[in-house]
Structure 1
Amino acid sequence: MMPTLMIFHEVDDVERWLSSPKREEVFGPLGITVRTFIDPAKSNRVGLVAQVPDMETFQRIMESAEAAEAMKFDGVRPETILMLVEP
């Protein structure tokens, strides 16, 4: 069974984050699929549900310079990231 993650964080610009190709560029080649969510109250809070074939690979990519650059491009506020894993 593939682990499912819920990831919440804040971004500088929700529309820019939604339209960014970076999630697919970083996660797609690893077989990670994501669904995006926004706060209907129009805050800068957003979320993802991610299907992750390999948690070790996911952790490694999240700690990489490539992921840091993608988050910066997307306007992600890294200090706000909260990740939950389906038990």
Structure 2
Amino acid sequence: MATYLITHEVDDVEAWKASPKRDEVFGRMGIAIRTFSDPSGSNRVALIAEIPDLAAFQKFMQSDEAAAAMKHDGVHPDTLLMLRES
């Protein structure tokens, strides 16, 4: 299992933090996550994600379901950055 830091911007940080969508989507994929928000108040947020199957995750992220989940949570997909733990 690999650990990733994933950052992106959202429309509304409080709505993103309160959303159950991440747990619904990632939980069934066996992905454990921890969420973070910028204390200075920007709309940049982050996840630490333990991803057991990166290929399955990448395939999912290209799906309509992933697009709908990101839209639901106000995620700006064009700002997404994913870094693997070294």
- Report the TM-score, using the length of structure 1 for normalisation: 0.96
Q: CA RMSD in A?
A: 0.6
> 1:32-77 CA distances to partner (integer Å, 9 max, x unpaired)?
0110000000110000000001111111111111110000000001
| In 1: Cα distance, 2:17 partner to 2:46 partner | 10
| In 1: Cα distance, 2:78 partner to 2:29 partner | 24
Q: What is the one-letter code of the residue matched to 1:43?
A: S
Correspondence for 2:61: 62
Unaligned ranges ≥5, structure 2: none
| In 2: Cα distance, 1:75 partner to 1:23 partner | 12
- Report the TM-score, using the length of structure 2 for normalisation: 0.97
| In 1: Cα distance, 2:62 partner to 2:24 partner | 16
| In 1: Cα distance, 2:65 partner to 2:21 partner | 10
| In 2: Cα distance, 1:60 partner to 1:22 partner | 18
| In 2: Cα distance, 1:27 partner to 1:61 partner | 10
| In 2: Cα distance, 1:80 partner to 1:27 partner | 19
Correspondence for 1:9: 8
| In 2: Cα distance, 1:64 partner to 1:42 partner | 31
Sequence identity (%) = 62
| In 2: Cα distance, 1:23 partner to 1:8 partner | 14
Unaligned ranges ≥5, structure 1: none
State the aligned residue count. Answer: 86
